[in-house]
Amino acid sequence: MVTESGASPNIVGKRMRSRREELGLSQERVGVLIGIDESSSRARISRYELGTHEPPVETARLIAKALSVPLAYLYCDEDDVAVWLMELATKSTGQRKALVSQWRQDLR
Amino acid sequence: MVTESGASPNIVGKRMRSRREELGLSQERVGVLIGIDESSSRARISRYELGTHEPPVETARLIAKALSVPLAYLYCDEDDVAVWLMELATKSTGQRKALVSQWRQDLR
DNA sequence: AAACTAAGACTGTCTTAGCAG
DNA sequence: CTGCTAAGACAGTCTTAGTTT
């Protein structure tokens, strides 16, 4: 029996789900990857994605790591900027600094 | 008498404080700007900045708006990327899309 | 004036257990 | 198997009130 949903998915849940599906992982797998016991893993990740519960930032950080994205990706409102943040994170610190420095010139 | 601090400032608190000081606002003012009653405004913002309490994402969104930064700014680990996100947010949607599209080419 | 914090009230999350697709 | 959710246990935040600088 399905009852009421409660809350609508916030930006974090939306990003979690799309990225998880992109990687072909189950909710349980993501939970186990961040150290949650498999007995409650599905329940927790499900509610994060649906937005009924919200993960603390430290938990969000573990999730971001498991999904191979930077923390800010999970809180980014614009799809194109989110993808850009994800791709930038694959670069080394030195490369990143050089690129960002160059891009900041483009903004003037 | 000052006792124990509890938690250390997380990334959200760190970004909140530096941006607030950059704008020359008091903690109370930021709280009032996001609709908190002035009687509890200082207390709440103080604990967000110190990391003893963590704001829900919807509250973080209001704070980001009050500080004129995108939500992702508050969760961005790298200083240079955070500043870049802030500057990018001043552009129109059309300009942003064009720039991000161009920058994604730079990443290859 | 501005920032910080203890304590109790209050609100949200987590585990368990089980249902639904 | 995978995802979703009710309920009680549990952990967090919020208001108040007052201290510290």
Query: Does the residue B6 lie in any domain?
Result: no
Spatial contact of A44 and A26, defined as CB atoms under 8 Å apart: no
Distances from the Cα of A2 to the Cα of A6, A10, A41, A43, angstroms: 12, 21, 21, 15
Q: What is the mean pLDDT of residues A13-29?
A: 98
CA–CA separation, A93 vs B17, rounded Å? 25
Domain span at residue A23?
11-107
Q: Locate tokens 């939500």: which residue?
A: B71
User: Cβ B81–A103 below 8 Å, yes or no?
Assistant: no
Tell me the CA–C1' distance in angstroms for B19 and D10: 35
DSSP code, position A12: H
Query: What mean pLDDT do residues B78-85 have?
Result: 97
Residue from B100, B101, B106 whose CB has the most chain A CBs within 10 Å, to mutate: B100
Instruction: Tell whether A1 is covered by a domain.
Output: no
The Cα-based distances of A76 to A8, B25, B69 in angstroms read 17, 25, 12
Flag whether B55 is in a domain: yes
In a domain, B2, yes or no: no
By C1' distance from the Cα of A3, the closest nucleotide is: D5
Instruction: Kindly state the percentage of chain B with pLDDT values over 70.
Output: 96
The mean pLDDT of B57-86, rounded to a whole number, is 98
Judge contact between B53 and B44, C-beta under 8 A.
yes
Interval A45-78: pLDDT, tens: 999 999 999 999 999 999 999 999 999 999 999 9
Nearest to B71 among A77, A85, A91 (CB): A77
CATH number for the domain spanning A41: value is: 1.10.260.40
Q: Is residue B49 part of a domain?
A: yes
Strand D atom within 7 Å of B63 CB: no
Q: List for chain A the helix, strand, coil content (%; round to 5).
A: 65, 0, 35
Number of domains forming the structure of chain B? 1
Q: Do A12 and B54 touch (CB under 8 A)?
A: no
pLDDT value at position B3? 72
**Residue whose C-alpha is closest to residue A93's, from B68, B102, B80:** B80
pTM above 0.85, yes or no: yes
pLDDT surpasses 80 at B45: yes
Helix (H) or strand (E) holding B47: helix B38-50
Tokens matching residue B103: 């920058």
**pLDDT single digits (tens) A81-93:** 999 999 999 999 9
Stretch B35-53: mean pLDDT: 98
Cα-flanking dihedrals φ and ψ of residue B23, to 5°? -90, -5
Asked if pLDDT for residue A27 goes beyond 80, the answer is: yes
